[in-house]
Structure 1
């Protein structure tokens, strides 16, 4: 089996490094960070923290160098997905491509470029420490399932989930991946921007009753939007938020949106809070908190141009 991970930031690197430890899987890693690519090819891709792994995928910044693949895993920032899949789509002409990006609407971005799209959701998180080295902060599960407008059989998706599980990234193939995806979207949209706006880690954010109340309000709006689509979540985001706040889970983890704000990078707020608000408008479900959070994060982004 040959798998290409498109976008080897923190999450993409977790998949690429772990999968590259399997003898029966050939792994390619595509990323535009040339220093990261060079380091991977020279020294391997090292994970530290929650898991100690050294994988040796084939890394490249040249999309034409990627051979035909059975599966793709797109792990770019949501706003970079269109350009990334447009450049690499030739490698997946006979394969299937899974999104593990944050937010909603990513499968729709991939679909014009590749025939077979997999709806994916992953909870592991980390951060790039230096080229070739990624800190693995949070472990978690991954779910893969059909993209409903052009569904493929679960049995076709299963080999990808099985490979990820054998590599140390617990994954499952399911008939309906929307409950898992909306679980994470609601979790991220309730916590990531709050961390980005306050500068607090996940645990410190949850310690403040005033901020935790806002998080609950965001969760409630997200649940209402999911329910309006007939989606029954596979876990309660509130319980997951409290679990992640434990010292042995993700108390000190800086959300990816906070990492983006600290680096003055554009955030994924349009695909998280903005995405929930967009679905809410289409379904007639009010989402005033998500609208407000989206505006505030956009204001932070605008301040960088001053």
Structure 2
């Protein structure tokens, strides 16, 4: 590392961004700068640090801003915004990320392509940790989970940068791995989320309820079968069986409301286009039909339109 603090920018300070920022800020020599438009959250972090509760309990010093204008040059960038805000967030911070490797830890497929339009080197990332911001300046760490990082193939970060990111997060308390091909972990998460989240969003049921209601479980399995066919055609090796993830969710996260359901309840635009839409787009690219995923996209967009048509 160069003399002085090793600066990392975190764009988006929701649950995942906050957990990443807090754990990285625990590492000696690391200076974390977080950007989020939620003023109350930012002001609380700036005044008293970012507090983690739940699976861990500590407060870490984090520089927090409501605008990227004040970001200093950073060695690494972490994009943790909703996918709808990817391009705007990275573009606003491009002065600070001009010579940085930038990773997406967002949901879905296609965020890396947007980031690569703005910055020189990109990391493909996946995280399965869960949490929630419970009050300004406080994030609850609900469920531990590993992170995987690898090069974004068309515009990769240097291997050393990927290793540094994984090493710093592990040192801060979030177990992370640098891998040669991060598509497997990324798509493993996407397949599970795309098979359960839209059904939860459309019905108002939790993940566990969706996966145990027989008629809905049939739809979950159809969505998984289609997605696995896309992965085979694209040469993507999943790291685990999505059916096992379904059983694990029933056991360990029965009452979990996925972010798409939370968006629907708040009448916010969802990330359907980068989940089921991302699978459908890749299916068209490799010649695999995905009618069930296409149906989820159409139904969720129809639900979104109903909020304004009323």
Q: Same fold by TM (over 0.5)? A: yes
Q: Residue 297 of structure 2 is aligned with which of 287, 294, 299? A: 294
Q: Which residue in the other structure is 1:262 paired with?
A: 265
CA displacement at 1:171 relative to structure 2: 0.8
Pick which of 194-203 and 67-76 moved more: 194-203
Paired residues of 2:101 and 2:157 also in contact (CA < 8 A): no
Q: Are 2:120 and 1:124 aligned?
A: no
CA displacement at 1:202 relative to structure 2: 1.8
CA displacement at 1:282 relative to structure 2: 1.8
Paired residues of 2:11 and 2:77 also in contact (CA < 8 A): yes
Pick which of 284-293 and 16-25 moved more: 16-25
Pick which of 18-27 and 70-79 moved more: 18-27
CA displacement at 1:137 relative to structure 2: 2.6
Q: Which residue in the other structure is 2:3 paired with?
A: none
Q: Are 2:112 and 1:107 aligned?
A: yes
Q: Residue 204 of structure 1 is aligned with which of 186, 209, 218? A: 209
Q: Counterparts of 2:141 and 2:199 in 1: how far apart (Å)? A: 22
Q: Are 2:64 and 1:64 aligned?
A: no
Deviations 1:225-245 (A, max 9, x none): 111111111111211221122
Q: Residue 25 of structure 2 is aligned with which of 20, 25, 34? A: 20
Paired residues of 2:7 and 2:75 also in contact (CA < 8 A): yes
Q: Gaps (5+ residues) in structure 2? A: 1-5
Q: Which residue in the other structure is 1:240 paired with?
A: 245
Q: Which residue in the other structure is 2:198 paired with?
A: 193
CA displacement at 1:16 relative to structure 2: 0.8
Q: 4+ residue stretches of structure 1 with deviation over 4 A?
A: none
Q: Which residue in the other structure is 1:180 paired with?
A: 185
Q: Counterparts of 1:102 and 1:112 in 2: how far apart (Å)? A: 19
Q: Counterparts of 1:69 and 1:204 in 2: how far apart (Å)? A: 43
Q: Are 2:81 and 1:76 aligned?
A: yes
SS at match of 1:15: helix
Q: Which residue in the other structure is 1:6 paired with?
A: 11
Pick which of 253-262 and 135-144 moved more: 135-144
Q: Counterparts of 1:7 and 1:30 in 2: how far apart (Å)? A: 6
**1:128-167 equivalence runs, <5 A:** 128-167=133-172
Pick which of 126-135 and 190-199 moved more: 126-135
- Normalising by structure 1, we get a TM-score of 0.96
Q: Counterparts of 1:96 and 1:279 in 2: how far apart (Å)? A: 25
Q: Counterparts of 1:154 and 1:239 in 2: how far apart (Å)? A: 31
Pick which of 148-157 and 189-198 moved more: 148-157
Q: Decide whether aligned partners of structure 1 residues 126 and 27 sit closer, same or farther in structure 2, where only a CA change above 3 A counts.
A: same
Paired residues of 1:28 and 1:59 also in contact (CA < 8 A): yes
Q: Which residue in the other structure is 2:56 paired with?
A: 51
Paired residues of 1:17 and 1:57 also in contact (CA < 8 A): yes
CA displacement at 1:141 relative to structure 2: 1.2
Q: Residue 279 of structure 1 is aligned with which of 273, 277, 282? A: 282
The count of residues paired between Structure 1 and Structure 2 equals 304
Paired residues of 1:137 and 1:250 also in contact (CA < 8 A): no
CA displacement at 1:303 relative to structure 2: 1.3
Paired residues of 1:68 and 1:90 also in contact (CA < 8 A): yes
Deviations 1:181-211 (A, max 9, x none): 1111111111111111121222222222221
CA RMSD of aligned residues (A): 1.3
Q: Which residue in the other structure is 1:41 paired with?
A: 46
SS at match of 2:93: helix
Paired residues of 1:81 and 1:106 also in contact (CA < 8 A): yes
CA displacement at 1:45 relative to structure 2: 1.6
Q: Gaps (5+ residues) in structure 1? A: none
